[in-house]
Amino acid sequence: MKVQSNIWRIFYALWVLGTLILFFISYMSFNVIKNRQEAQLRHYTEMIKNSVSSTFSQKELILDILGNQLIENDNYKNIKKSKIILDNLLKKTKYIIGFGLVNLDGTLSVTSSNIKTHKNINLRKSKNSSITFNKVLHSNEMVIGRTVFFKPIGKWIIPIRKTIRDKQGNALAVMSAGIINERDTNYIDNLKLSKDYVVEVIQDFDIENKMYVQYSNNHKDKTMFLYKTNVPAKTIRRVTNTIENKYHLSLDDLRKDTKTVSFDAINFFGEANLAGMAYDKKYSLWMLVQSDSSIIWKPFIKILSIYIILFILGMLLLYWLFTKLANADIRRKKELIYQAQHDMLTNLPNRIYMYENIHDWIEIHKSKYDVLYIDLDNFKNINDKFGHTVGDKILQEVAKRLESFFSSDEMLIRQGGDEFIVLKECLDESKVEENFLKLIAMISEVYYIDNKEFRIGMSVGISQYPHDAQNIEELLSLADTAMYEAKKVKNSYCFFSEKLRHISIMKTDIEQELRGAINKDELWMVYQPQINANGTIYGVEALVRWQNKKLGFVGPDKFISIAEESGLMRELGEFIIKRALQEINILKKDLDINFSLSVNISVIQLMESDFLENILKIIEDESFDKFALTLEVTESLSIEDLDEVLPILHAIREEGIEISLDDFGTGYSSLSVLKELPINELKIDKSFVDEILYDESEKVLVQSIINIGKNFGMKILAEGVESIEQIEVLKEAECDIFQGYYYSKPLNKDDLVKFLNKKNEDKK
């Protein structure tokens, strides 16, 4: 599930990345919307500031005009004339609800006709107007008063006042007017701003460090509270801190710079708003335009909804794509698993499949089961003679026959090459022989491949759970041991037994003890002389011997094959070559004689990539004459894989080292490949020599081998000669060299010295 897991990890990573991008884009969009709304608020605030300033400038101009008319000809001293002037100007002026002329002591002198005044009104003494009245007396500018509810007309008004002065600048009276401040009937509502915006004009009373709302278009019914109560100090501090944090400006800085700013605010009613603010220096007014957070959140939620929909659609598309990819990976993984767990030639499960599924299979067959190790007989000969294509077709047919013979509940495995493994429930003892003979007979039936007939057999080794072993590895090893026992007979089957267990244990013991044999100095060399036909010494064959404390004497026929199987052959082979070269080199120098040294080489050694390089180094280290060295290869091994062996053998011959073909005549393809092998010497196997005195056909066969060797210019050596009669027959057949007990058994180096000295004496 690793591939699928990785795919979904990528999906989750993309989902997380997409979510982060969504948050980032949303955050940026929110800021863009907020910045745009703040810019809009600043624009509106600037627009309100300009409008208010323009309005009050116009009203100040009106008061100037009115004042000039009143002081002309001392009209202000005549109440009747003054009222006419006030009434005439009132008709021409929008938003001003009435005019009044106030004496310097604060009492009303005259008002426009629409104002019913109370005689006891004194602006200088009134709490709401005293500050601005006193201020206007000392100013040449118009002064704006606090918004008040003017009872004579029953409306909220913004008082405006300006002092009338003579040419010398002396105060004569104060002109006062009221600008109507009712909803939809005032100078600011006329701007027709959106209902989303709350506009407030706040009067800045720097004398008493207080601020009062002069105008608000807030539609909540809290007008009385707004106009009668000064702006709370904590609200001012909060706004001040916000502006300082954002712009690094104080309110005093804004009073001087009159910069328009925007910020997050909380209005007088505790609601979160976005606000724009500017200051009118001339009239000491703060312009504040506010809007609740909906002006940001509404467009943001709208665009966020689009983003979320696109994100969901994108994730759904990705999920669909990754589901397709995951399913494709599952299919591909199943295909890869199938390929990894099945043999491509036969489509049978392989050893990997067996190990992956063995525990499940055993769970079903807990009580008893057999492990069959099957090896085809004579298959290698067909492969060598007719090629791998024919061999592959035979293997495919064998697989089909095995599949038809064993049920689906039984596990059939191709081990590799021509070997198969079967796990099956134990048969009833009465049916065992019948079943296996039937299986062998079926495999042994004729195979028709490429219009040719082929016959093969099979050898089957069987181990049983739990009788023979408890785990599959040991059961396979025991079945393999039994198969090799069956192989001795061929086309048969063999159950693992205690006798075979003893052999298996012995093999294990030999392998374990052999691993330390060289370091323990348990190995030594013996040499069997090789005699020319004229009786002179030709050479010696080096043979290794092993004496172990635990196992006693172990013959090379037992431990060489185990060394090849267990990977010890390289170390053992290097020991044999090096020791033989050392001892024979010393012996030849001491005796001042020259003869050939033959050393047996395993095909396992030949297959090593650095074999020739290593042997040449040993020859150089020992200062040995490589032209006096013969490497013996056994015929059955050297032709097993001719394509690999031939280049190595040719390289050896090019170095001047001779090659001998041992056990000639015991293999299957000797004559067909003899001409391809770069060999100097043929060794006739002892099994042929033993029969030449008693079997004429064997004698003829030996003569044929000698003739073949002679035709290829090879020396012929007969091994295993034990009598003078054998030697005479072989000499008559023109055999060149003899080796056997008739001349000498294998000798250690000291006895070999004695043998060679005796030969020298006999020669003399």
Q: What is the pLDDT of residues 253-280, one digit of tens each?
A: 888 888 899 888 776 556 678 889 999 9
% the chain with pLDDT above 70: 92
Element (H, E) at 447: strand 447-449
DSSP 192: -
- Give the pLDDT score at 636: 56
Q: Cα dist. 617→608, 610, 613 in Å?
A: 15, 11, 6
Torsion sign across C-alpha atoms 6, 9, 10, 11: positive
- Give the pLDDT score at 759: 80
Q: Given a cut of 50, is residue 1 above it in pLDDT? A: no
Q: What is the set of domains in the chain, with CATH numbers?
A: 29-328 (3.30.450.20), 351-496 (3.30.70.270), 526-548+567-763 (3.20.20.450)
Give the model's confidence band at 734: pLDDT under 50 very low, under 70 low, under 90 confident, else very high: very high
Q: Given a cut of 50, is residue 668 above it in pLDDT? A: no
Give the model's confidence band at 669: pLDDT under 50 very low, under 70 low, under 90 confident, else very high: very low
pLDDT, the chain, mean: 86
- Give the pLDDT score at 256: 87
Which of 19-33, 301-315, 578-592, 675-689 has the lowest average pLDDT?
A: 675-689
- Give the pLDDT score at 536: 92
* Burial status of residue 618 (CB atoms within 10 A of its CB: 0-12, 13-18, 19 or more): middle
Q: Cα dist. 620→578, 616, 625, 626 in Å?
A: 11, 6, 9, 9
Which of 2-6, 35-39, 751-755 has the lowest average pLDDT?
A: 2-6
- Give the pLDDT score at 423: 93
Higher pLDDT, 416 or 670: 416
Q: For 696-728, b where at least 16 C-beta lie within 10 A, e where not — what string?
A: eebbebbbebbebbbeeebbbbbbbbeeeebbe
- A 10 A CB-CB count for 515 gives 14
Cross-strand pairs, 532: 737
Distance of CA 255 to the CA centre of its chain: 63
CA distance linking residue 530 with residue 540, whole number of Å: 5
Q: Given a cut of 80, is residue 720 above it in pLDDT? A: yes
Q: What is the pLDDT of residues 96-120, one digit of tens each?
A: 888 888 889 888 888 888 887 656 7
CA distance linking residue 524 with residue 543, whole number of Å: 9
* Burial status of residue 474 (CB atoms within 10 A of its CB: 0-12, 13-18, 19 or more): middle
What is the chain's percent helix, strand, coil content, to nearest 5?
Answer: 50, 25, 25
Higher pLDDT, 553 or 607: 553
- Give the pLDDT score at 659: 94
- Give the pLDDT score at 193: 63
- Give the pLDDT score at 374: 94
Mean pLDDT in residue range 474-503: 88
Give the model's confidence band at 638: pLDDT under 50 very low, under 70 low, under 90 confident, else very high: very low
Mean pLDDT in residue range 5-9: 78
- Give the pLDDT score at 67: 85
Mean pLDDT in residue range 594-607: 91
Q: What is the pLDDT of residues 735-753, one digit of tens each?
A: 999 999 999 999 999 999 9
Output the six-digit token pair for 197.
């915006």
Mean pLDDT in residue range 314-334: 88
- A 10 A CB-CB count for 420 gives 26
- Give the pLDDT score at 432: 86
Q: What is the pLDDT of residues 490-547, one digit of tens each?
A: 889 999 988 888 877 888 889 999 998 989 999 999 999 999 999 999 999 999 999 9
Q: Given a cut of 70, is residue 639 above it in pLDDT? A: no
Q: Is there a contact between 398 and 376 (Cβ–Cβ < 8 Å)?
A: yes
Torsion sign across C-alpha atoms 715, 719, 721, 725: negative
Q: What is the pLDDT of residues 46-97, one digit of tens each?
A: 988 888 888 888 888 988 888 888 888 788 888 888 888 888 888 888 778 8
